[in-house]
């Protein structure tokens, strides 16, 4: 997703306070486990004696240093005993899930199990900081599900009821999905059933679906008499199709092909409504709630999405879905090829990389980073075992889980650190210093980069345009962000004749404008701020000045699609992600205007 949410107010988030957001009881528990008097009483007589007996235990301190509360550590050790540290760690993770499960608020059903075990001391993004996606982007991360996804039906039932579902809903989900289904899959099943019930109750035979109303209720369409419009009112279909197979994410996620793959590309047939100018290219997170990509495809002329993971192009994963009408033959990658592994991209880290950290690819790069408190806690956990050849498996697992969540890299003995903005730029395919300087803060750089395209991946798809537009291209760039599409086209050697860039963030507009000037672009750059204000009159005015658009590209905000937004993961109905319908509205307006001969 290349672009920000609808409101500029989010630019005022205090991104510099993440180190101060540490869980309050960490400092207290960390110091008390090292220096607490043995006679210090805890609440409750039984708990007091238990705490006293474990207050100076190395194992006890070790788990407290990891960030678990003294109360939970004491409980786990009392139940299991100190002889099985791995079982204690599993119990602590489970306790933390149950302890933090919200009871009286709406949450993201499919992501809560993974997210609740994360440290609450980290500042998460209001834009795209998707921890569900982040953890899923690394295939090896799935091992952690064994800890936080209970294996027995009773435990799954407990998890689901703690998440707010009824016993009846949970029992039906387990029966329908089977005993091997994960908690996330069961939650998705319940959510889909609830949506289906709601849709049946709300959508009568004469009532227009809410999806259509999302982008038509507050806008009067000037070109409503265009025949193409009536043919594309996909919202007239029911939201949920019980007899249709939903879009499934492929494995491996290589779309219609990637540079390193030799398989023969199967030609695709585009629906008639998608054929003809202009070309369009839409991007968003692949791991969206169920039904989202079916809806996106339905609105974008029933074009089949192409799901691609950027780990096949660079050293970092980035699972994305793309809907486009571009040719899929004769693609070629950008040269020189970017580094393909962590050690190729960051060679100085190799000296300190332990053999038990088997990562070769970084996880999905986000808009936020791990805090200094986190890396300090990891250092202390490792130093507890400095005299050993390797830390024990439970410590390795703890460290690797945090490394995968936050893309931490080794910079010294027992010393991990988050990526620097310059390193993120390089991994995403942007030129050096693309987001640096000009009054742009360090945290703004992380935020803007986390919301951007992975340039090498997008350029591979757009490479087919080089033969089609040798003299240059007219581009309508919606939700432009920091100009990932423009950078990709420029690096492909496709001249940018006229670019209309629509981006609400002033920071991002400044980054884009600076790049345009520093690369000595010869074309015309027009900046607009809000896709919702781009109407038919303005489009006709722009298109009359240079003859129409060759490509409409963009990725609307994924705020309500990404897994981290437990409280607002409303899919395409959400406040920010509903801007997808403006992408379709504008695309369809351009097609209608061009079909009239403009």
364 among known catalytic residues: no
Task: Check: CB of residue 592 under 8 Å from CB of residue 537.
Answer: no
Q: Which residues of 226-255 are buried (b: 16+ CB within 10 A; e: fewer)?
A: beeeeebebbeeebbeeeeeebeeeeebbb
Q: Where are the strands (E) in 286-341, listed by range?
A: 306-309, 319-324
How far, in Å, are 334, 343, 406, 491 from residue 347 at the CA level? 22, 5, 19, 25
Catalytic residue chosen out of the listed positions 191, 226, 368, 558: 558
In the structure encoding, which two tokens stand for residue 375, read together?
Answer: 């890396």
Beta strand extents in 449-561 (DSSP E only): 473-478, 496-502, 524-528, 551-554
CA nearest neighbour of 63 among 37, 38, 84:
84
Burial class (CB within 10 angstroms; exposed 0-12, middle 13-18, buried 19+) of 172:
middle
Separation of first and last alpha carbons in the chain: 30
**Nearest CA among 428, 406, 427 for reference residue 417:** 406
Q: Helix %, strand %, coil % for the chain, to 5?
A: 45, 10, 45
Closest among 209, 213, 235 to 299, alpha carbons compared: 235
Q: Strand 415-417 to strand 409-412: parallel, antiparallel, or no bridges (unpaired)?
A: antiparallel
Q: Where are the alpha helices (DSSP H) in 407-505?
A: 421-428, 442-450, 455-462, 465-468, 484-491
**Cα 87 to Cα 147: distance, rounded to the nearest angstrom:** 10
- Residues β-bridged to residue 308: 254, 320
* CA atoms lying within 13 Å on the CB side of residue 478: 30
Which of 257, 249, 393 is CA-nearest to residue 327? 257
**In the block, which residue shows the tokens 């550590």?**
73
Please identify which residue in the block is written with the tokens 């705490």: 51
Q: What is the largest CA-CA distance in the chain?
A: 87
Q: Are strands 279-285 and 319-324 parallel, antiparallel or unpaired?
A: antiparallel
Task: Compute the distance between CA of residue 300 and CA of residue 204 in angstroms, rounded to an integer.
Answer: 25
428 closest CA partner among 443, 446, 442, 449: 449
Sign of CA dihedral 163, 165, 170, 176: negative
Tokens 């091997």 belong to 180
* Spatial CA neighbour of 307 closest among 319, 293, 298: 319
The set of catalytic residues is 558
């Amino acid at each position: 997703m290349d672009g920000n949410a609808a409101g500029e107010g989010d630019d005022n988030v205090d991104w510099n306070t993440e180190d101060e957001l540490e869980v309050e009881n960490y400092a207290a528990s960390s110091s008390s486990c090292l220096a607490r008097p043995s006679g210090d009483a805890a609440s409750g007589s039984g708990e007091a004696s238990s705490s006293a007996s474990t207050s100076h235990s190395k194992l006890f301190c070790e788990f407290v240093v990891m960030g678990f509360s003294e109360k939970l550590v004491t409980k786990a050790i009392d139940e299991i005993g100190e002889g099985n540290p791995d079982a204690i760690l599993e119990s602590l993770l489970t306790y933390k899930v149950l302890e933090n499960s919200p009871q009286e608020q709406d949450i993201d059903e499919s992501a809560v199990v993974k997210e609740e075990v994360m440290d609450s001391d980290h500042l998460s993004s209001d834009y795209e900081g998707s921890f569900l996606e982040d953890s899923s982007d690394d295939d090896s991360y799935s091992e952690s599900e064994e800890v936080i996804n209970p294996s027995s039906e009773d435990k799954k039932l407990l998890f689901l009821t703690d998440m707010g579902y009824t016993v009846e809903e949970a029992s039906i989900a387990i029966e329908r999905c089977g005993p091997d289904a994960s908690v996330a899959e069961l939650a998705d099943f319940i959510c889909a059933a609830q949506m289906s019930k709601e849709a049946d109750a709300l959508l009568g035979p004469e009532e227009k679906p809410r999806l259509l109303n999302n982008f038509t209720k507050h806008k009067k369409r000037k070109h409503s008499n265009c025949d193409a419009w009536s043919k594309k009112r996909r919202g007239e279909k029911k939201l949920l199709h019980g007899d249709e197979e939903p879009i499934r994410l492929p494995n491996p996620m290589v779309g219609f092909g990637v540079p390193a793959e030799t398989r023969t590309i199967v030609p695709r047939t585009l629906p008639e409504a998608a054929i003809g100018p202009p070309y369009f290219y839409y991007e968003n997170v692949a791991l969206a709630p169920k039904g989202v990509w079916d809806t996106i495809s339905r609105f974008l002329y029933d074009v089949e999405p192409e799901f691609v993971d950027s780990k096949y192009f660079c050293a970092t994963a980035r699972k994305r879905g793309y809907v486009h009408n571009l040719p899929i033959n004769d693609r070629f990658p950008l040269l020189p090829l970017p580094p393909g592994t962590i050690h190729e991209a960051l060679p100085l880290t190799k000296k300190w990389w332990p053999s038990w950290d088997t990562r070769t690819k970084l996880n999905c790069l986000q808009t936020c980073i791990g805090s200094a408190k986190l890396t300090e806690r990891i250092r202390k956990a490792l130093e507890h075992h400095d005299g050993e050849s390797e830390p024990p498996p439970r410590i390795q697992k703890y460290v690797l889980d945090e490394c995968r969540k936050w893309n931490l890299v080794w910079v010294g003995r027992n010393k991990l650190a988050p990526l620097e903005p310059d390193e993120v730029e390089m991994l995403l395919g942007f030129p050096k210093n693309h987001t640096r300087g000009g009054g742009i803060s360090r945290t703004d750089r992380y935020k803007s980069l986390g919301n951007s395209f992975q340039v090498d991946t997008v350029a591979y798809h757009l490479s087919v345009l080089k033969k089609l537009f040798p003299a240059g291209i007219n581009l309508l760039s919606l939700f432009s962000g920091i100009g990932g599409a423009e950078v990709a086209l420029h690096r492909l050697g496709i001249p940018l004749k006229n670019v209309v860039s629509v981006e609400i963030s002033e920071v991002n507009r400044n980054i884009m404008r600076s790049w345009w000037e520093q690369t000595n672009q010869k074309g015309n750059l027009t900046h607009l701020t809000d896709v919702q204000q781009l109407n038919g009159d303005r489009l006709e005015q722009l298109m009359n000045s240079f003859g129409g658009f060759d490509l409409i590209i963009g990725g609307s905000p994924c705020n309500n699609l990404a897994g981290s937004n437990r409280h607002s993961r409303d899919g395409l109905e959400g406040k920010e992600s509903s801007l997808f319908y403006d992408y379709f509205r504008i695309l369809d307006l351009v097609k209608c205007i061009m079909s009239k001969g403009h």
